[in-house]
Structure 1
Amino acid sequence: EGIMYYKNGKVLGAIWTYGKPTAKINANNDQVNVQHVKVDISSEVKIWAVVVGVARYSHLPVLKFTDDDAYQIYAFLKSPEGGALPDNQISVLIDENATRKNIIKAMNNIFLKADQNDVILFYYSGHGFPGAFLPVDYDGFYNQLKHEEVKDILEKSKAKHKIVLADACNSGSLLAMKSVPLKSILEKYYAAFETSSGGTALLMSSKGEEFSLEDRGLRQGIFSHFLIRGLKGEADTNRNKIVTIQELYNFVYQKVRAYTNNIQSPTLTGDYDQSMPVAVIR
């Protein structure tokens, strides 16, 4: 029993007898067919998001909070503070729906609609290892979602602002909302994108050689716990009612390092404008 890697990229798992596969276990050529997506051209800034959370793996240890945290990120993005995204601009894939094929299709179908004024955001919570995220159908050999694949889709998108938030063990905590007119909140948030030069920002839960931790006391992943607290306003250090990507990273980095006794260190990389907005405060 073993795996054959062909020069053309095909991968075949089988029981082999005298060099020939006598019982195929699995076959995968790593290809996902994606239909042509038409760009949604508009003078207005729009936010497009794909949210993925996987907890209930079949071939990996089950995680406790990643699916719940993805739902909380989804709820944030549907709220005025997160942009009040309409249903056609956001896709959420949880547990059994979060297959490699579905994630790639969702990213293409959502992100390739963005025009040069827009924002795309990818949030992933689940297992991962260096160079790849692990969808629900990862079986130890097949169906890993390589970081390069994510990068390729981001690069194909025409969006001005590109944000990746990734946690290998996730969480979320929503704060109470205050009574401020929703229209003024949304206008301020979207206007902030117009003054940012854009770019790609990748905020990851830990360094490559570190683990990302869940916490029973928080009932959440530590990174995402502080991520959502930051998005809901605690990261707004200059009190201008806009949370920027740099403010969010500074807040999350300090809080996660302190909570884990310096075991886990979030990272922020990419070619991005430090003033890129990620949330607005009521």
Structure 2
Amino acid sequence: MRMKRILFSLICICLFSLQSLAQNIYLVSVGIADYPGTENDLTLPAKDAETIQWIYQKNQKAETILLTDAQATRSNVLSSMTRIFNKASAKDIIVLFFSGHGYKGGFVGYDAMITYQDIKKTMAKSAAKNKMIFADACFSGKMREPRRNSSNISPSSLKVMLFLSSRENEVSIESPSMKNGFFTTCLQRGLRGGADANRDRIITAKELFEFVSQGVKKLSRDKQHPVMWGKFSDSMPVMIW
């Protein structure tokens, strides 16, 4: 009987711990396949954004906004981020997903460039400590010289984690036989639980990087290498499922 009480107490402690970690998640998911004109069009970004939104909507504590193609103007993206991210408390998670064209200073919106500085300023207004950007965009690594995260960073100093689909001299590969780009394919698999290496139902930044990086390198035959940089802890939660 005593052993049963001990086991019951341990289960309750575990459930309480998971519940206390169950942050609200706020996502703005952006995908632009159909740019003005035809010469800059892509195939899969709108589907990428829809897939990532679908993944997060499975989490009952997630609130999402989806912007695709002509909806994804610079002003729409930034105003959507402000509107939804400002709902977050310090313990919550805010996420920007972008799939489309990238350039050295940020992303190419439907009508104008969306600079990293624009994004950073908008995210800085949110009280959330866990802030992240996922980008499936060619040459996205040019946004900054990649630097892996450090487990020695204190939680109080956390800023923004960027997880970018390719190095600065690489393209982000699409395949007609796949529903999503290589990076988004591996990202959604990881967020659905594939990256949860220790099966504790909490996917950390380190777990996600290792899972997605290995998957993309395998799919691309070592032609595409995701990069992650920013000031954050290896144990930063990116998804609780």
What is residue 34 of structure 1 aligned with on the other side? none
Relative to the length of structure 1, the TM-score reads 0.67
Task: Write the deviation string for residues 173-212 of structure 1: whole angstroms up to 9, x where unpaired.
Answer: xxxxxxxxxxxxxxxxxxxxxxx76542111101122111
Which amino acid in 2 is paired with 1:162? K
Quote the Cα distance in structure 2 between the aligned partners of 1:199 and 1:47: 16
Q: Which runs of 5+ in 1 are unaligned?
A: 1-43, 138-142, 170-195
Which amino acid in 2 is paired with 1:63? L
Quote the Cα distance in structure 2 between the aligned partners of 1:116 and 1:237: 26
What is residue 55 of structure 2 aligned with on the other side? 76
Quote the Cα distance in structure 2 between the aligned partners of 1:48 and 1:233: 19
Whether contact under 8 Å (1:199, 1:273) holds in the other structure is no
Quote the Cα distance in structure 1 between the aligned partners of 2:29 and 2:54: 10
The runs of 4+ residues in structure 1 deviating greater than 6 Å are none
**C-alpha root-mean-square deviation of aligned residues, in Å?**
1.9
Whether contact under 8 Å (2:25, 2:61) holds in the other structure is no
Quote the Cα distance in structure 1 between the aligned partners of 2:163 and 2:91: 21
Whether contact under 8 Å (1:134, 1:145) holds in the other structure is yes
Check 1:156–1:263 CA distance in 2 against 1; reply closer, same or farther (3 A cut): same
Quote the Cα distance in structure 2 between the aligned partners of 1:208 and 1:167: 12
Which of the numbers 241, 245, 257 marks the counterpart of 2:201?
A: 241
> 1:112: how far off?
2.3
What is residue 166 of structure 1 aligned with on the other side? 135
Which structure is larger by alpha-carbon Rg, 1 or 2?
A: 1
Task: Write the deviation string for residues 155-177 of structure 1: whole angstroms up to 9, x where unpaired.
Answer: 222211101111117xxxxxxxx
What is residue 108 of structure 1 aligned with on the other side? 82
Structure with greater helix percent: 2
Relative to the length of structure 2, the TM-score reads 0.78
Which of the numbers 164, 169, 172 marks the counterpart of 1:212?
A: 172
Which amino acid in 1 is paired with 2:119? V
Whether contact under 8 Å (2:47, 2:179) holds in the other structure is no
Q: Which runs of 5+ in 2 are unaligned?
A: 1-21, 139-154
Whether contact under 8 Å (1:118, 1:159) holds in the other structure is yes
| 1:65 to 2:23 alignment | no
Helix, strand or coil for the counterpart of 1:120?
strand
Number of aligned residues = 202
Check 1:219–1:45 CA distance in 2 against 1; reply closer, same or farther (3 A cut): closer
Which amino acid in 1 is paired with 2:32? V
What is residue 26 of structure 2 aligned with on the other side? 48
Check 1:148–1:71 CA distance in 2 against 1; reply closer, same or farther (3 A cut): same
| 1:225 to 2:203 alignment | no
Quote the Cα distance in structure 1 between the aligned partners of 2:34 and 2:61: 29
Check 1:159–1:280 CA distance in 2 against 1; reply closer, same or farther (3 A cut): closer
Helix, strand or coil for the counterpart of 1:75?
helix
